[in-house]
Chain A
Amino acid sequence: MEKHYTDSKVKGVSTGTTILAAIFDGGVVIGSDSRASIGGEYVSSKTINKVIQVHDRIFCCMAGSLADAQAVIKSAKSHLSFHSVQMESPPLVIAAASVLKELCYKNKDELQAGFLTAGWDSKKGPQVYVVSLGGMLISQQVTIGGSGSTYIYGYVDAKYKPNMTREECLQFATNALALAMGRDNVSGGVAHLVVITEKGVELKLVCSLIELLLIFHEELNE
């Protein structure tokens, strides 16, 4: 089977990135770094927000080709708002994830985009879904994606616990993003975090990741 590589210079700006979503007791945290780079050589944006709101309590993070991801999300948003008008109720998180999955699967030969979908709905509470590059849809408690995620698999496996409190989960997400940005040269900048619960949505911007890295790399303090 031939491997399909994206040539970032052909497709334009590509997000080398780190994205993460995790469920805690009563809600979900979804977050990403903020760097957009061209081929790993030039940072075209230091503060891009990769966490996109697709409905009141449903957010998405994109990975892969930024152009493809933006196009898919635009289409998904309009599908979802039409769907929610038809159903006369807010869409389920799995509906949002399924819409993305359909688009990714039907167009798998042209697209190079993957998504994390996180949100809260009244039927199942907090949920996280992953739509992979080829259009697979699975539900997980915690998930990471993007080029920077390679470096934090061990950390996330060891440190994620189900039913954490909101504060513990935020600290976990911030730490994980900081560690990934510390090792991946195409992830960086600030951390955009969104906390979604039954009560509502809270956006957090964490800029002090450098201080966090100093704690992790004690040798810098000498």
Chain B
Amino acid sequence: MLGEAEPQWLSEEVKTGTTIIAIEFNGGVVLGSDSRVSAGESVVNRVMNKLSPLHDKIYCALSGSAADAQTIAEMVNYQLDVHSMEIGEDPQVRSAATLVKNISYKYKEELSAHLIVAGWDRREGGQVFATLKGLLTRQPFAVGGSGSSYVYGFVDAEYRKGMNKKECQQFVVNTLSLAMKRDGSSGGVAYLVTIDEHGTEEKVILGNDLPNLFNQ
């Protein structure tokens, strides 16, 4: 048989349609993401870790086009290494976010990725920065990706100032769980990264261990 049609997913752009969230607490930050990567209607990777380290205590969460997001993260990782050698100490979270913002803004027509940058530094403690489309803004928490639309109401209602580390981790897990249930492009497992002055802790929560908040 001649000319067998190639599967649709080979010609579709690979996107991390996703849910990402980062939240600041007194003394650090918690980042969370799902793990689904889709090309059109196929899930091409169900265990991708979208929380990418930019430096020891600075991570970013990737969303949008998988290629664009990964490239930005790698470029900023390199630029931050050079920068931290130049200044002789650990870089500030704001510097990392600015580097991401510079790339996002300069190439905003070509790129379609949104990175949330979060981390801990000695000067300002835990910080979360959103860099959507080249904007740079510090926020107490940020959500992004296709799944974030479904949980805006939930995070608006549930976020309180002054949550401690455990409460923030629970908040992130609950939010991811709700978004993954509703968004077709989010799913798989939940990755959690907690950064504070003592170090960085990475955690995976498997799909069946996610809280089931849906009561019907």
A binds B: yes
Q: Tell me if B161 counts as interface (CB < 8 A to partner A).
A: yes
| CB–CB B213/A182 < 8 A | no
* Segment among A94-102, A105-113, A213-221 that sits at the interface with chain B: A213-221
Q: Tell me if B105 counts as interface (CB < 8 A to partner A).
A: no
Contact A151 B149, CB 8 Å, known A157-B181, A219-B140: yes
* Segment among A83-91, A116-124, A172-180, A203-211 that sits at the interface with chain B: A172-180
Q: Tell me if A183 counts as interface (CB < 8 A to partner B).
A: yes
Which B residues lie within 8 Å of A175 (CB)? 157
Q: What's the Cα separation between A15 and B26 when bound, in Å? A: 43
| CB–CB A218/B153 < 8 A | no
Chain B proximity of A169: nearest CB distance (Å):
14
Which B residues lie within 8 Å of A216 (CB)? 156-157
Query: Residue B156 contacts which of A142, A157, A183 (CB distance < 8 angstroms)?
Result: A183
Q: What's the Cα separation between A35 and B148 when bound, in Å? A: 24
What interface size band does chain B fall in? 20 to 34
| CB–CB B152/A158 < 8 A | no
Query: Residue B182 contacts which of A157, A161, A183 (CB distance < 8 angstroms)?
Result: A157
Chain B proximity of A66: nearest CB distance (Å):
23
| CB–CB A154/B151 < 8 A | yes
Residues of B participating in the A interface, judged by any CB pair closer than 8 Å: 140, 149-161, 174-175, 178-179, 181-182, 213-216
Query: Residue B157 contacts which of A161, A179, A219 (CB distance < 8 angstroms)?
Result: A179
Interface size of A in residues (CB-CB distance below 8 Å): 26
Chain A proximity of B138: nearest CB distance (Å):
12
| CB–CB A217/B215 < 8 A | no
Chain B proximity of A210: nearest CB distance (Å):
14
Query: Residue A141 contacts which of B149, B153, B159, B216 (CB distance < 8 angstroms)?
Result: B216
Residue of A whose beta carbon sits closest to that of B211: A158
| CB–CB B216/A142 < 8 A | yes
Contact A154 B178, CB 8 Å, known A179-B156, A182-B156: yes
